Amino acid sequence: MRVVYVHGACVTDGAWWWHRMVEPLAAHWLDTRAVELTSAGPDVAGLGDLYDDIAATRAVLEDTDEPTIVVAHSYGGMVVTEAAAGLASVRRLVYVTSVMPEPGETLADFAGAEPAPWMEVGSDGTISARSETAAEVFLQGCDDPAIVAEAVRRLVPQSMAVFGQSPAAAAWRNVPSTYVVCTEDRGSSAAWQRERATRADHVIEIPTDHHPFLSRPQLFADLLARIALAAR
């Protein structure tokens, strides 16, 4: 069985964001793969949108028939909800401090009309996380300064187009789902997450910040291993 990770908005290098999970998951006999989304990156002119991200994720999910657990982080929930639809290999969806949209619902429906104070809207059709507050808002639970610095270095502009686009299918209607509430997340409150989680089959709460795979990799790996065991 493998775990496929789909990262959130405003970052690049999905494999790096997931790198602390590879070894602990391998200890549980789980292979891993990180998707690289196209709607965020340093090359603003070449950014894709939600549908490009769905296609990139779908391509990874279809490259093998191996049973798969899909982990959607934050914005990644918008992507996975359509990308995983209709695939027999996908055994469970894991939404982490994320959204679980219905077809027709957009990210703006969940995020609200105004950007959060730790986000900056550009004049070029993008939005970015402010580097000076990112660690305090999203990574306050990570005790490795080098990891935090590398994370901040990978913040990039995100296409605003994704906020107005919606998935055409809802995989969570047919695939078992788990929602992981990160109770110490300062970017998405626990109350906000619990409201999103009402669509999931199973809800688990863990005492972590927005990025448990960086701040508490062993805790998160053990959680995913239990989910994978139940899905076998």
- pLDDT at position 56 is 98
Is the pLDDT score of 149 beyond 90?
yes
- pLDDT at position 113 is 66
**pLDDT per residue as tens digits for the range 180-230:** 999 999 999 999 999 999 999 999 999 999 999 999 999 999 999 999 999
Tell me if 202 sits within 8 A of 178, measured CB to CB: yes
The mean pLDDT value for 26-40 works out to: 97
Tell me if 171 sits within 8 A of 85, measured CB to CB: yes
Which domains does the chain possess? 2-231 (3.40.50.1820)
Distance CA(180)–CA(73), nearest Å, equals 10
β-pair type (119-121, 126-129) = antiparallel
- pLDDT at position 161 is 96
- pLDDT at position 220 is 98
- pLDDT at position 115 is 80
Distance CA(213)–CA(164), nearest Å, equals 28
**pLDDT per residue as tens digits for the range 59-75:** 999 999 999 999 999 99
- pLDDT at position 232 is 80
**pLDDT per residue as tens digits for the range 82-132:** 999 999 999 999 999 999 999 999 999 998 767 888 899 999 999 999 999
Residue 224 neighbours by CB under 8 Å, 6+ apart: 3, 21, 25, 28, 30, 69, 71, 94
Which residue reads 């969806």 in tokens? 93
